Amino acid sequence: MEHILACIDASNYADSVCEFASWSSKRLNLPIKLLHIVQRRDAVAARGDLSGSIGLGVKGKLMEELVNIEAAEAKLQIERGRLLLSAGEQKLRGDGANDVCSLHRHGGIVENILEQEDNARLIIMGKRGASHEFATGHIGSKVERVVRASNKAVLVAARKFVEPNSVIFAYDASPAANRALERLANSTLFANLPIKIIMADMDIDAHRLALTQAAAKFDPERDVEAILEQGKPEAVIAKFTQQFAQSILVMGAYGHSPIRNLIVGSTTTAMIRTVNVPVLLVR
């Protein structure tokens, strides 16, 4: 059964992820699966293995203590994960979501998310994980890896949830952008929201024609504005997201082609990193 996969951790983005999951669930009429992953850690490696520099008798005792510490930390992580999931589920139900289930997994974060994405219509993650949440100007390494590897649409949540009242669509007339355009024009997720189609490129007839054709994909009654502005995409689009702070930015995701990733991937990463609004990346 299709659902929304909301991935939470101990970062300050967990509340926002839950609120975007609730908002998306109501618009798409889909249940929510809340996922938390306990990433395995090696307590010995985490502390630096100094056992080779001490005597054999002491070494055996030290290793036993480190193994015990690791087991205790694992239990603590599991309990913390259960509490996070319980709090997330309560928050969602309190917001009116009735069809919510929780899933607690162990292992690699990226691998587990990809395993769970088969029936997901949408994956929601915080912009940064618990270990990098204060590293402003960066995005979490797991976020970028999931977005690059996933075949699903990924919504990267901002730190604070604000219900979107408009959509900014970054358009460059590429095949990826045209696929995103088709999804945007037909998705109930953004029904009735005004659309601003932004192209950052030279002001020539071909680009104006591409924008006109893109706008024509939407219902004639829809509030759609096409804008062509010269400049670097990351600068032009960032400016628009500042002007419309209650918007959501939609754009094509990374391609699976290494060459496309080299050319387009850096722009996509820059967009996720620099803007303060949520970003939906469409495959």
CA 164 – CA 265 distance, rounded (Å): 25
> 32-38 and 3-7 as β-strands: parallel, antiparallel, unpaired?
parallel
What would the mean pLDDT of 23-51 be, rounded to a whole number? 78
Tell me the domain boundaries of the chain: 3-41+76-157, 166-281
CA 95 – CA 89 distance, rounded (Å): 10
- Read off the pLDDT of residues 102-119 as tens digits, 9 standing for 90 and up: 999 989 989 999 999 999
Q: Which of 9-26 are b and which e, b meaning 16 or more Cβ less than 10 Å from the residue's Cβ?
A: bbbebbbbbbbbbbbbbe
Residue 262 has pLDDT above 80, yes or no: no
Residue 25's SS3 state is helix
CA 89 – CA 144 distance, rounded (Å): 26
Which amino acid type is present at position 123?
I
Q: Where are the alpha helices (DSSP H) in the chain?
A: 14-28, 43-47, 56-94, 109-116, 141-149, 175-186, 205-215, 233-243, 258-260, 266-274
Which one, of 66, 61, 72, 5, lies nearest residue 34 by Cα? 5
Which one, of 188, 214, 189, 180, lies nearest residue 282 by Cα? 180
* Top-tier CATH class for 3-41+76-157: alpha beta
Terminal C-alpha separation, the chain: 20
CB 126 within 8 A of CB 14: yes
What is the pLDDT, as a whole number, of residue 256? 45
Domains 3-41+76-157 and 166-281 share a fold: yes
Which one, of 165, 220, 224, lies nearest residue 193 by Cα? 165
| pLDDT confidence tier of residue 78, bands split at 50, 70 and 90 | confident
CA 112 – CA 92 distance, rounded (Å): 22
- Read off the pLDDT of residues 209-218 as tens digits, 9 standing for 90 and up: 999 999 999 9
How is domain 166-281 classified at the architecture level of CATH? 3-Layer(aba) Sandwich (3.40)
Edge-to-edge strands of the sheet including 32-38? 100-106, 32-38, 3-7, 120-126, 153-157, 279-282, 247-252, 166-170, 195-200, 224-229
- CB neighbourhood size of 110 (10 A): 18
- Read off the pLDDT of residues 139-190 as tens digits, 9 standing for 90 and up: 667 888 888 888 899 999 999 999 999 999 999 898 888 989 999 999 999 9
What is the pLDDT, as a whole number, of residue 1? 85
CA 182 – CA 20 distance, rounded (Å): 22
What is the pLDDT, as a whole number, of residue 72? 79
